[in-house]
Amino acid sequence: MKLADGDDSARMIVGLGNPGPRYANTPHNAGFLVVEELAARADCRWRTRSRLSARTADFSQAGNRAFLVEPQTFMNESGVAVAAAAAWWKIPPERIMVVLDDADMDMGRVRLRDGGGSGGHRGLASVIRRLGSQAFPRLRIGIGRGDREANLVDHVLTPLSAKEAVWMKRIVALAADAAMFFLSKGTDSTMNQFNGVIVSQENHHDNMEKSR
């Protein structure tokens, strides 16, 4: 579906990651995990759109159309798909949420920012470059840096352990809650509601607390 001119209610949520089974269970694919969780909640079907270099799905939330995008380029060229989808659906940067991993945040933290630089994340840098704008919200999923003596690339591309995968599932659920909140309440309210919440690894229940 292509939007008619003048539709100002649509939002786009982009999950950053690398396509293919080799990368499916790695920390670097946290963005993919969040949009896949959103699609599962909405019971909507993914489509592969070669013209957009992406997989997409869509649903309605609070009367607004929401488009989910998984770039099928590799991470460093994520902006190719994001810019193509934004142009196709006529969605400006301020209504595009980009969901990505952040090695500079401890695992268990989720943080929304309304614009800013790439912070060294090459996928985000590609999106900024291709959109020609930094003025879009980005939801960062903390993955930590792992062993400080290890190579960061190895950390982000190494599959999660069984214990980490259970923890990540709960983090992804929180991030998906934040994305759904964003669709109906906007960026400022979402930041107030979710920034500072920590998902601990130890407890399955009562595992979220507000940091001080």
- 126-143 pLDDT tens trace: 999 999 999 999 999 999
- Least confident interval from 60-64, 124-128, 130-134, 167-171: 60-64
- Give whole-number Cα distances, 189 to 49, 115, 137, 186, in Å: 33, 15, 12, 6
pLDDT score at 149 = 59
Q: Any idea where the domains of the chain sit in the sequence?
A: 11-210
Does the structural domain 11-210 have CATH classification 3.30.200.20?
Answer: no
Please identify every residue annotated as catalytic.
28
Q: Which amino acid is at 107?
A: M
Cα-based angle 198, 199, 200 (whole degrees, multiple of 5): 105
Q: What's the whole-number mean pLDDT along residues 48-53?
A: 97
Question: What's the chain's average pLDDT?
Answer: 89
pLDDT for 212 equals 36
Give the whole-angstrom CA distance, residue 83 versus residue 130.
Answer: 6
